[in-house]
Each structure stands twice: as C-alpha cells, then as structure tokens.
Homo-oligomer: A and B are copies of this chain.
Amino acid sequence: MSDEAHAISKRRVYTGRVVSLDVDTVRFPNGAVGELEMLRHSGASAVVPFLDDRKSEDPRVLLIRQYRYATEGVIYEIPAGRLEPGEEPKACAIRELREETGYEARDVRFLTTFYTTPGFTDERIHIFIADAVNPGNRALEADEIVELCPVPLSEAMELIRTGGIVDGKTIIGLLFCARFGRFG
C-alpha cells in the first residue's frame, strides 16, 4: 500500500482572484477512487505584533478589528495577508503589518506554519512574532476598514477562552506565544 494519493484527472472548475477550485479524481492510498474538491490558495503570512517589551509580564498585543463577510460582522485578528508571487513568508508578514497597522516590524521570529483546513484547501499560514515600532501611515485596500486594538496578552487569552476571538490563525498565534514563549 502506497502512502500517496494520485490524481487520475484534474478539472479546474473556477479560477478566481483569491482562490481557485479544482475537482480532482483521485486514487487514494487504499486503492479507492473518488472525486475531491480542492481549493487552491497561494498561502499567507500573519504576525503577532507586540507594542511593549515582549519579555515583560503582560505586554500589549496589537490586534486589529475588521469586518468579514464570512462572519457577517467585525472580528479580532492578528495582521495577515496573502503571499505575493515569489514573496518570502517573513517579508509578507512585515509588509502586512505595515500596510494594515502602519507599524514597522522589529526582531521578527518564525513561530509556526499550519494548514487552515486541510479537508478542502491547501492554504497554509506562516505565523511570526515581532515587535511593532515606529507607527506611520497605513496602506489599506479600498475594501479594508481596519481598527487598531492594543490588548494586553492576558486579556487576549481571556478573549480566546470566552469565544471573543474566533479567528483560527489569531487563536494559534496568541496561544503559541503564551505557551512557548515570546523569543525576547
């Protein structure tokens, strides 16, 4: 038995701005054959930005609040965005922090890479931690309204525990920092 699946045929049913959708006919490792819907995504980077000395006991994290059509409301997130063609994940994280918050990133460290929902998409998000310094002008896209929300890490933990933070990458980035340290 092979540990791999093989596409017998591939059919692109939609090519979009952010995502493309394939319906592939696949032979699975156990020999079964089936159709699989697979959303293709170029990947993204996110950053957990600290406003205070991140080694200190309860530093503030710079969260953002923005409207999401998918959630039909405004949610807390860490700054993030799609990789541009050829862009390194770290450069993307730095760029997104600047564009969405106006802050520069300093002492940027890699935290982890994860699959958002591997049942139907190959999207991966690379998460970094950084100090957010020297606030300047932002560069938001036409459809972006982004509110800056400095929140003490302890309060962010409480928002996760009580369901006040519902975005996957944000929960992972913050819990990762709280559990495994802030690399200060």
A interface residue numbers (CB < 8 A to B): 3-5, 13-14, 16-19, 21, 23-24, 26, 28-30, 32, 34-39, 41, 44, 67-75, 112-125, 142-143, 145, 157, 160-161, 163, 166-169, 171-172, 175-176, 178-180
21 residue pairs bridging A and B, Cβ less than 8 Å apart = A14-B14, A16-B23, A16-B37, A17-B37, A18-B119, A19-B39, A28-B145, A34-B142, A36-B69, A39-B39, A41-B120, A75-B115, A114-B168, A117-B121, A117-B169, A118-B167, A124-B166, A157-B179, A161-B180, A168-B172, A175-B176
What number of copies of this chain does the assembly contain?
2
Please report the C-alpha to C-alpha distance between residue A74 and residue B180 in the assembled complex, in whole angstroms: 25
**Hey, which chain B residues are within 8 Å of A34, CB to CB?**
142-143
B-side contacts of A37, CB under 8 Å: 16-19
Instruction: Tell me which residues across on chain B come within 8 A of A114, comparing CB atoms.
Output: 166-168, 171
With the chains together, A114 CA to B173 CA distance in Å?
Answer: 14
Given contacts A29-B145, A143-B30, contact A68 B176 (CB under 8 A): no
> Residue among A75, A115, A142, A176 with the most chain B CB within 10 A?
A115
The reply to whether A68 and B21 contact each other, CB–CB distance below 8 Å, is no
Contacts of A113 in B (CB 8 A): 163, 166
